[in-house]
């Protein structure tokens, strides 16, 4: 039987925490037209402006969470890849990062060298966005064309509502949810509102009202990142047995001046403290691996902010990371294609 390879793709991190390496990474990331979706001259100008200020700040953030082995996101993704390799009986398994190393190109060539005749591409993003999923798919297709590789590609779609993903989340968050806590915040990575409007097939549903994501028809849900985040939060909370007042959703990591999807995590943390929440749990189901956005933005800066606003504790619930139940769930999702 011909070998079917599995390519896991995540975002990627800078090579090191030096300002120069962080700048190189941010330039590659932000110059991606799927991330800053503006015409090239405007994108170049905007990114240059961001790069004139942000790299030292970002480098400091990375330095505060860096592991001796490297970036948590990359190290965790590599560990996950090793566990998935043990479970995937159809052929070789490799990890590629959309930005920096290990590249998608190296991973794809390694799969082909190990005899893969077809490949399952698994973008490790539960929710669909052009700035993550589409760019990972396009880069993979570009490399296939560049090397004239004769391989068939199957793509794992967004899995935000799939039971193996939800079961893995329920199982790995169980120890945190078993503790005493006042409120669970599900903080998802944000997106500029423009990205939602652009993909709305109805051209009128997205951002039309405070509950538009809850009433999104399937065709909108298929491409609306915000609606998918809210749907996965609802499914998770329901299956975890949480009452509506015990949990809420917000969106983090805003960059630049454009309007991003709301509510913003930064604002919501203050609101929760003002409402009398003392012991806050925070989870980030849009990230399958802990990264600078969870370990620094939420667990360091978010915690400081929440306590300064009157809260007592903020505990970060770990992401799925390289938990065996997640490796099994991922294989199950890919085998079902
Ligand atoms: C979960 C999915 C993600 C979406 C959607 C996303 C969109 C998006 N991100 C930026 C800007 C930045 N993101 C940064 C880090 C980062 N982003 C994601 C995931 C999504 N991004 C991850 C997993 C990470 C962590 C990477 C790591 O090395 O740990 C950063 C870099 C860090 C910083 O300087 O804050 C930026 C910048 C935009 C503009 C965007 C959509 C348009
Ligand atoms: Fe991001
Ligand atoms: Fe929407």
Q: 3.40.50.1400, 3.40.50.920, 3.40.50.10490, 3.30.70.60: which CATH number matches 163-316?
A: 3.40.50.1400
pLDDT (0 to 100) of residue 50:
97
Across the range 234-246, mean pLDDT stands at: 98
Q: Is 232 in the pocket of ligand 1 (CB under 6 A)?
A: no
Q: Residue 95 — φ and ψ, nearest 5°?
A: -115, 130
**Mean pLDDT confidence for 225-239:** 98
ipTM: 0.97
Query: Predicted confidence band at 310 (pLDDT cuts at 50, 70, 90)?
Result: very high
Is residue 1 predicted with pLDDT exceeding 80?
no
Which is the closest atom of ligand 1 to the Cα of 35? 42
pLDDT, tens only, 162-201: 999 999 999 999 999 999 999 999 999 999 999 999 999 9
Q: Taking a C-beta distance cutoff of 8 angstroms, is the pair 203, 215 a contact? A: no
Q: What was the pLDDT predicted at 234?
A: 98
pLDDT at 33: 98
Q: How confident is the model at residue 330 (pLDDT cuts 50, 70, 90)?
A: very high
The pLDDT value given to residue 90: 98
Distance of CA 248 to the CA centre of its chain: 18
Question: Cβ contacts of residue 54 below 8 Å, gap of 6+?
Answer: 26
Using CA atoms, how far residue 317 sits from 146, 294, 325, in Å, is 41, 9, 16
Mean pLDDT of the chain: 97
Residues with Cβ within 5 Å of ion ligand 3? Answer: 206, 224, 227
CATH topology of domain 3-158: Rossmann fold (3.40.50)
101 is in an annotated binding site: no
The reply to whether ligand 1 has any atom less than 6 angstroms from the CB of 221 is: no
Domain boundaries, the chain: 3-158, 163-316
Q: What is the percentage of the chain residues whose pLDDT exceeds 70? A: 100
* Calpha distance 86→20 (Å, rounded): 37
pLDDT at residue 96, as a whole number: 98
Residue 269 has pLDDT above 80, yes or no: yes
φ and ψ at residue 255, rounded to 5 degrees: -130, 130
Q: What pLDDT does residue 256 have?
A: 87
The mean pLDDT value for 285-310 works out to 98
Residues 67-96 pLDDT 10s: 999 999 999 999 999 999 999 999 999 999
Atom of ligand 1 nearest to the CA of 286: 1
Q: Which residues pair with residue 118 across a beta bridge?
A: 4, 152
Q: Do 3-158 and 163-316 come out as alike in CATH topology?
A: yes
pLDDT digits (tens, 9 = 90+) for 105-143: 999 999 999 999 999 999 999 999 999 999 999 999 999
Query: Which two three-digit tokens encode residue 301?
Result: 């800066």
User: Rounded mean pLDDT of 142-151?
Assistant: 97
Instruction: Give the strand pairing for 183-189 and 247-252.
Output: parallel
| 146 burial type by CB count under 10 A (0-12 exposed, 13-18 middle, 19+ buried) | exposed
- Pocket of ligand 1 contains residue 291 by CB under 6 Å: yes
Instruction: Check pocket membership of 73 for ligand 1, CB cut-off 6 A.
Output: yes
Question: What average pLDDT does range 303-320 have in this prediction?
Answer: 98
């Amino acid at each position: 039987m011909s070998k079917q390879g599995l390519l896991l793709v995540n975002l990627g991190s800078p090579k090191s925490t030096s300002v120069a390496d962080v700048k190189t990474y941010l330039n590659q990331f932000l110059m991606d037209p799927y991330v800053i979706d503006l015409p090239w001259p405007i994108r170049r100008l905007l990114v240059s402006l961001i790069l004139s200020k942000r790299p030292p700040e970002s480098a400091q953030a990375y330095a505060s969470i860096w592991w001796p082995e490297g970036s948590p996101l990359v190290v965790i993704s590599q560990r996950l890849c090793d566990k998935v390799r043990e479970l995937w009986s159809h052929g070789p398994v490799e990890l590629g990062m959309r930005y920096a190393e290990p590249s998608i190109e190296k991973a794809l060539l390694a799969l082909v060298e190990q005899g893969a005749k077809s490949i399952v591409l698994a973008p490790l993003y539960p929710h669909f966005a052009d700035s993550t999923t589409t760019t990972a798919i396009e880069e993979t297709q570009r490399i296939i064309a560049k090397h004239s590789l004769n391989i068939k590609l199957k793509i794992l779609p967004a899995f935000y509502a799939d039971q193996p993903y939800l079961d893995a989340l329920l199982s790995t968050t169980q120890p945190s949810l078993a503790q005493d806590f006042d409120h669970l915040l599900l903080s998802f990575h944000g997106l500029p509102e423009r990205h939602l409007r652009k993909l709305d097939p109805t051209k009128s549903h997205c951002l039309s009202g405070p509950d538009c994501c809850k009433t999104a028809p399937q065709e909108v849900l298929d491409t609306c990142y915000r609606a998918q985040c809210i749907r996965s939060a609802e499914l998770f909370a329901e299956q975890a047995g949480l009452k509506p007042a015990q949990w809420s959703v917000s969106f983090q990591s805003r960059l630049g001046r454009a309007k991003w999807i709301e509510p913003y995590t930064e604002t919501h943390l203050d609101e929760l403290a003002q409402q009398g929440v003392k012991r806050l749990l925070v989870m980030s189901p849009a990230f399958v691996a802990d990264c600078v956005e969870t370990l620094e933005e939420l667990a360091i800066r978010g915690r400081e902010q929440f306590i300064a606003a009157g809260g007592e504790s903020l505990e970060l619930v770990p992401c799925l990371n390289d938990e065996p139940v997640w490796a099994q769930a991922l294989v199950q999702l890919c085998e079902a294609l």
